[in-house]
Structure 1
Amino acid sequence: MAEVPFIAIEGPIGIGKTSLAEKLSAHFGCHLLKEIVEENPFLGKFYDNIEEWSFQTEMFFLCNRYKQLEDIEQYYLNQNKGVIADYHIFKNMIFARRTLPADKFDKYKQIYHILADDMPLPNMMIYLHASLDTILERIRLRGREIEHNIKSSYLAQLAQDYEDYMNEFERRHPNIPVIRINGDDVDFVNHQQDLDDIIDHVGQHLANLQAIAKR
């Protein structure tokens, strides 16, 4: 049976995950899975006081992302319909490890593994990364009021956490291709050629997946 595309796009806040997911899902005719962000009732409080509101914020995200992935597995992947997502549930551990105190992180980690360990892995990852200046500018341009109080130091550490995690992901899952895109050099929103190059790259990997599945 042909390999069903499940592409997850990841990277720090404001890097352009949703924009790219929308463009790729439209091009390749895949279902678009978008994470719930602004609907999180704790997020604004979290950016004001991370220590006070981190556990509530992370638990809301975990439960909603679990339900979303459960649904796409049942209604899309198991029905041979491709999915392109602007996140994967592994990101929860990146944020939780950074924001939760040790005792709450231990509890959170147990819940995470109970929920997430049998969730489907993507068969392709796209990792968007950029310098802090680029990330800050893109957050400013999209103008979400809820993000006005994000500290630069938090974003810088988050970017490094993502880099560390993606390196680990490649070591742990050598058979899952990771496409790395440097946002300092690539602007797929405003430059069609940059988008076309990404589409070509993704298309080549999808062709490889199909070829492997037919062996």
Structure 2
Amino acid sequence: MNQTPFITVEGPIGIGKTTLSKAISEHFQFALLREIVDENPFLGKFYEDIDEWSFQTEMFFLCNRYKQLEDIETKFLSKQQPVVADYHIFKNLIFAQRTLKNNQYNKYLNIFNILTEDMPIPNMVIYLHASLDTILERIQKRGREIEKNISPLYLEQLSLDYHSFMETFQQKHPQIPVLQFNGDELDFVKNEKDLQTILQMIQDQLFKGAASKS
């Protein structure tokens, strides 16, 4: 890699991003950046009425994620401290494009581009995906009250949006490795062997990047 490791873990709601990010942080002794979710005052209303509350919800997330990325640049990356985050700010566009009206999305996109033009870019992305049944099972198991009204159709569409976005991302950024893991095949929460498999693949990629840099 050409810079201090900055790994982001991405995927649909309930896929296990935070759990895996914490495991990576502990294993490699990386700083951990966690997404602000429960603090969003609009999120519960959003799941009840997406059309009415989508713009407020997405703007809250954008402003908070911008501030978080600004902080990790000054507090960690600028001091060569590796970081793992349980989200990539590009997810804002995935959600916004799905939920905002055209005129709202165009305004949102202008603001997004301004805020992110000089933000740190991850040099490794981990993409978690799974079937709708697996995602629903994991959401139900973690039992967040705020997520009880999520529509399965919305989750299914979101998963398709992620697949499409990741394909485009890899085409636009071939220099950034994307490690993909299928949650139907690997359960890194229940199965320690699965977790070690993922950690080893990350380590191999980090080593490969360090070797190419030297």
Report the TM-score, using the length of structure 1 for normalisation: 0.98
Give, in angstroms, the shift of residue 2 of structure 1. 6.9
CA RMSD of aligned residues (A): 1.0
Distance 1:168 1:120 in 2: 19
Distance 2:211 2:122 in 1: 17
Percent of aligned positions that are identical? 59
- The aligned counterpart of 2:176 is 176
Distance 1:118 1:81 in 2: 19
- The aligned counterpart of 2:15 is 15
Number of residue pairs matched?
214
Give, in angstroms, the shift of residue 111 of structure 1. 0.2
Runs of at least 5 residues in structure 1 that lack an aligned partner in the other structure: none
Q: Which amino acid aligns with 2:66?
A: Y
- The aligned counterpart of 1:185 is 185
- The aligned counterpart of 1:161 is 161
Is 1:54 the counterpart of 2:51 in the alignment?
A: no
- The aligned counterpart of 1:102 is 102
Distance 1:4 1:29 in 2: 13
Q: Which amino acid aligns with 1:136?
A: L
1:57-114 per-residue CA deviation (whole Å, 9 max, x = no partner) reads 0000000000000000111001000000000100000000000000100100000000
Aligned partner of residue 64 in structure 1, secondary structure? helix
Runs of at least 5 residues in structure 2 that lack an aligned partner in the other structure: none
1:3–1:209 CA contact under 8 A, matched in 2: no
> Post-superposition, which runs of at least 4 consecutive aligned residues in structure 1 deviate over 2 A?
none
Aligned partner of residue 149 in structure 2, secondary structure? coil
Q: Which amino acid aligns with 1:24?
A: I
Give, in angstroms, the shift of residue 3 of structure 1. 3.0
Report the TM-score, using the length of structure 2 for normalisation: 0.98
